[in-house]
Amino acid sequence: MSHLRVGDVKSRVIGAMHFGWSTEQARLYQELWKGAEALPIASHDAPAGPCLNRELWQRCGELGLLGLPVPTSYGGQGADALTTACAIEAAGRGCEDMGLIFSVCAHLFACVMPIVAHAGDEVRDRMLPLLCSGKWRGANAITELEAGSDVFALKTRADREGDEYVLSGAKAYVTNGPDADVFLVYATVDPSLGYLGVTAFVVERGTPGLEPADVFNKVGLKSVPASALVLKQCRVPARNRLGEEGEGGQVFQQSMRWERACLFAAYVGAMERQLERTIRFAKERRQFGRPIGKNQAVSHRIVDMRLRLEAARLLLYRACWKMDQGQEAILDGCLSKLAISEGAVQSGLDAVQLHGAIGIDADRGIGRMLLDALPGTIFSGTSQILRDIIAREMGL
């Protein structure tokens, strides 16, 4: 498949409701759906999950997945948020390895897009073509063991020394950590400033003092590696800072808007694949002389799976559409992420139950869909934190 160029695919509807893809968006969806189906499924036997090989990663670059909303001048596709969600949904529907698609999304929304929005020209010109092509893989390093949902209570320090910053600290649960070529690291220049002291830096693999550490053995998304990251007097050029000192909070919040919208499009695609598979099984599986789908207890459960999927999809599209109109869409993004993440878990439980023993057969993949859905209620803001934000947006 040729490298997709979708820079001219834009959401142009303003002040109106529109429920269909444009011709170009529909073409993009079909091509990425079929292209993602051809991607190999990683083995899940290794206790900590295998590292993603470079050939597979570059294949994702050839499909255009690694630079979807990045300007074409840097090697990206120039897509808007809604078109990006369209593409990610197609990939999630086509590729049965959610770990791979999650790795792509973590690279794109938590590392690449902050570089697009906040890095200086030298960093953008040098790094973005490598990140979009698949030659490089990106990672986001913000989480610390003592700073989970209290995301800006960071202990990692960044001390200015001339034209450099010296970073010292430790990060946890860094997706793509063992394989990443560049890390977006958040640190504080002054802990007493709290949120206003947080600053973001781009740190390249091989920088002295940057040490990927223990690999995290996850329950779900096992094919994408995640690790700790240790920084020991790690010297970073000042030109690698994103934005000004103290603007790390803004960098992070912008990346969260991309994550909460477009990343979860992958789960929408996976939920559609799961629903199709469950409907097919309910038609083919016969018990007591008839297909199990003829039983109301089964059919109503499948109807609920469809209801969750369609409601989540509409919330997703609305959040992305509002982003494309220049709105912050905080409420919409949180509602979308909450509906998709919790819906994916419940539909995963339903699919396992409806498949019976086959649902817990590790070789059939039904149970893996549930396990891959479980982390979704935790990363990019836990369900509890999202409900707090939603309540605040409602004036409560």
The single residue of 164, 259, 276, 284 carrying the catalytic annotation is 259
* In the predicted structure, residue 12 carries a pLDDT above the cut 70: no
Q: Where do the domains of the chain lie, and which CATH numbers do they carry?
A: 23-137 (1.10.540.10), 140-245 (2.40.110.10), 264-393 (1.20.140.10)
Q: State mean pLDDT over 35-40.
A: 84
Q: pLDDT class for 157, splitting at 50, 70, 90?
A: very high
CA distance 301 to 306: 9
CA distance 321 to 84: 11
244 is catalytic: no
Pick from 10, 200, 183: which is nearest to 106 by CA? 183
CA distance 68 to 146: 34
pLDDT tens digits, 170-214: 999 999 999 899 999 999 999 888 889 999 999 999 999 999 888
**Number of H helices and number of E strands within the chain?**
12, 10
Mean pLDDT computed over every residue of the chain: 90
CA dihedral 189, 193, 195, 199 (to 10 degrees): -10
CA distance 320 to 257: 9
Q: pLDDT class for 116, splitting at 50, 70, 90?
A: very high
Q: pLDDT class for 34, splitting at 50, 70, 90?
A: confident
pLDDT for 19: 67
- Do residues 334 and 376 make contact, with C-beta atoms less than 8 angstroms apart? no
* In the predicted structure, residue 342 carries a pLDDT above the cut 50: yes
CA dihedral 29, 258, 382, 44 (to 10 degrees): 50
CA distance 181 to 131: 9
Pick from 210, 164, 197, 203: which is nearest to 184 by CA? 203
pLDDT for 3: 45
DSSP state of 261: I
pLDDT for 247: 94
Q: State mean pLDDT over 122-147.
A: 94
pLDDT tens digits, 289-325: 999 999 999 999 999 999 999 999 999 999 999 999 9
pLDDT for 11: 44
DSSP state of 148: S
